Amino acid sequence: MDGKNVSVALDVGTTKVCTTIGFQDEDGIEILGVGSHPSYGLKKGSVVNIDKTVKSIRCSLEEAKMMAGVEDITSATIGIAGNHIYCFNSSGVVAVKNSEITQKDVDRVLEAAKAVLIPSDREVLHVIPQEFRVDSTKGVKNPIGMCGSRLEAHVHVVTGKTSLIQNILKCVEASGIKPNDIILQPIASSRSVLTAEEKDLGVVLIDIGGGTTDIAVWKGGSLIHSQIVPVGGNHFTNDLAVALKIPHNEAERVKINHGSVLAEKLNQSAHITVHGLSGTKAREVQLGEVAKVLGARAEELFVIVKNIVKDKNLSDLVTGGYIITGGGALIKDLAELGEYILEKPTKVGYPRPFGGMTTIMQNPKFSTVLGLLLESSPENMGKTYKKKNNKSASEALESGDIFGRFSDSLRNVFKEIF
Ligand SMILES: Nc1ncnc2c1ncn2[C@@H]1O[C@H](COP(=O)(O)OP(=O)(O)OP(=O)(O)O)[C@@H](O)[C@H]1O
Ligand SMILES: [Mg+2]
């Protein structure tokens, strides 16, 4: 096996840290190894305990390495989320130098588009082109080689809090891994779940994780909005724990084994046995009661998503409806309730199958890590947000310039997109 063709993705989530090791050949990517370990060091997508996070990363990495039979893993593509992420759209215009548009003109217009004031405690993570306009021609994806005198770029800018990005990078570095790329989690999930047709038609991806729900709105093949909502599957579990007066792990068991968000679809009189704190008697609760608690939280979450889409004036663009993924999408009847509240077609989105271990990985909770793997594959080199210089994150850390690698690469991202 050629080490050059091996790529690694690391999804450091609120409930689990997941590593996948893939091998790329002419037939595509084959998954060689997967490691998934409970995560105890994150809250709402952000690191709150470095030691616990490092331990979870190491465990998931070891598991994946053992399964893949790969000894030395030195770098990986990392996902990022958390409610510190803030995204916005921007645009810029330049005059074309010699009537035919070159890479240099594209670089200049992208520089102009991202020349917005960003608070000093924030970093730009992605600058994603939505469309170019050449004179009066709109909707151009790649303007290089076209003739014109005026070039306009519309972009989606993703920013995150410097200190919180540093924390996640620190944990990855401390686990012996160089982050070779850092990607917003809903962008990664979109990559593994959505088809080109869906992105073109207009859809909203809703990735319900443990601590956050990540939203990505696509139209005309471009990302037009992304946002992290600090409500996730753990909130469903907490609600159940409070309502039924049971411990968190028992509430999690009830949610996974007996949970639904539509009480009307259940046999209302059916009961389940739940266990309270040790020393207390087991009790019977109605399934309908469980569904009412979970349904109320699901309704609240869908209303938040609906309002985001409405407030951004995107409702009419979402022709294809809503696609729910992430582990939180697995609660029974969620898509049905979603369709009722969101008033658009709604379905659960599974990652597209690719070679090796397809059945285990075809679970919405692996959408992000599989998307990260697709983004990190050698075939993708040069198309996405790859590093610009050869400085590793550890070297950057040592030199006190943690973003020596990322900000440089991401701020100049477009040189590598085309
Ligand atoms: N079968 C299931 N039924 C219902 N909920 C489930 C099921 N499996 C997992 N979940 C829920 O999915 C959530 C975890 O999802 P996921 O693994 O996508 O999160 P994460 O990536 O660790 O977190 P985040 O993306 O928020 O940082 C948990 O709240 C868990 O209870
Ligand atoms: Mg996640």
pLDDT higher than 90, residue 29 = no
Residue 230 CA: which ligand is closest?
1
CA-nearest of 121, 118, 212 to 163 is 121
- Per-residue pLDDT band at 381 (split at 50, 70, 90): very low
Cβ atoms of 37 and 54 closer than 8 Å: no
Cβ atoms of 337 and 266 closer than 8 Å: no
How far is residue 288's CA from residue 318's CA, in Å, rounded to a whole number?
Answer: 33
Domain final position from 294, 324, 347: 294
State pLDDT tens for residues 122-148.
999 999 999 999 999 999 999 999 999
- Per-residue pLDDT band at 1 (split at 50, 70, 90): low
Q: Name, in order, each residue with C-beta under 8 angstroms of 313's C-beta and a sequence gap of 6 or more.
A: none
Phi (first) and psi of residue 215, to 5 degrees: -115, 135
Which atom belonging to ligand 1 lies closest to the Cα atom of 255? Answer: 4
Q: How much of the chain, in percent, has pLDDT values that exceed 70?
A: 88
Kindly report the CATH number assigned to the domain that includes residue 114: 3.30.1490.110
- Per-residue pLDDT band at 418 (split at 50, 70, 90): very low
How far, in Å, is the centroid of ligand 2 from the Cα of 137? 39
Which atom belonging to ligand 1 lies closest to the Cα atom of 364? Answer: 18
Residue 45 CA: which ligand is closest?
1
Cα-Cα-Cα-Cα dihedral of 139, 144, 147, 148, to 10°? 60
Nearest CA to ligand 1 atom 10: 327
Which atom belonging to ligand 1 lies closest to the Cα atom of 331? Answer: 4
Q: Residue 83: left if φ>0, alpha if ψ -120 to 50, beta else—which one? A: alpha
Kindly report the CATH number assigned to the domain that includes residue 237: 3.90.640.10
Within 159-195, residue ranges assigned H as helices are 162-174, 185-193
Residue 297 CA: which ligand is closest?
1
How far, in Å, is the centroid of ligand 2 from the Cα of 80? 9
Domain contains 148: yes
- Spell out where 50-186 has E strands: 75-80, 86-95, 122-134, 137-140, 150-161, 178-184
- What pLDDT sits at residue 280? 83
- Per-residue pLDDT band at 357 (split at 50, 70, 90): low
Q: Name, in order, each residue with C-beta under 8 angstroms of 351's C-beta and a sequence gap of 6 or more.
A: 192, 193, 325, 361, 362, 363, 364, 366, 367, 370, 371
Name the domain count of the chain: 2
pLDDT higher than 50, residue 76 = yes
Range of the domain at 94: 86-161+410-417
Domain final position from 242, 270, 294: 294
Radius of gyration of the chain (CA): 22
- Per-residue pLDDT band at 269 (split at 50, 70, 90): confident
State which of 262, 330, 332 you would mutate to test the pocket of ligand 1, scoring each by most atoms of that ligand within 8 A of its C-beta: 330
Which residue in this structure is represented by tokens 């943690």? 402
State which of 52, 260, 365, 372 you would mutate to test the pocket of ligand 1, scoring each by most atoms of that ligand within 8 A of its C-beta: 365
pLDDT higher than 50, residue 66 = yes
Structure tokens at 326: 């992430």
pLDDT higher than 60, residue 9 = yes
Domain contains 238: yes
- What pLDDT sits at residue 402? 35
Q: How many CB atoms lie within 10 A of CB 83?
A: 18
Cβ atoms of 342 and 305 closer than 8 Å: yes
How far is residue 370's CA from residue 390's CA, in Å, rounded to a whole number?
Answer: 25
How far is residue 401's CA from residue 166's CA, in Å, rounded to a whole number?
Answer: 10
How far, in Å, is the centroid of ligand 1 from the Cα of 141? 35
Domain contains 199: no
Domain contains 177: no
- Per-residue pLDDT band at 416 (split at 50, 70, 90): very low
Domain final position from 294, 322, 344: 294
Domain contains 334: no
How far is residue 190's CA from residue 166's CA, in Å, rounded to a whole number?
Answer: 25
State pLDDT tens for residues 223-238.
999 999 999 999 999 9
How far is residue 60's CA from residue 93's CA, in Å, rounded to a whole number?
Answer: 46
Q: Which residues line ligand 1 (CB under 6 A)?
A: 13-16, 39, 45, 81, 209-212, 232-234, 237, 252, 255-256, 259, 326-328, 330-331, 365
Structure tokens at 112: 């102009």
pLDDT higher than 60, residue 193 = yes
* Average pLDDT score over residue span 378-386: 41
How far, in Å, is the centroid of ligand 2 from the Cα of 105? 37
- Per-residue pLDDT band at 313 (split at 50, 70, 90): very high
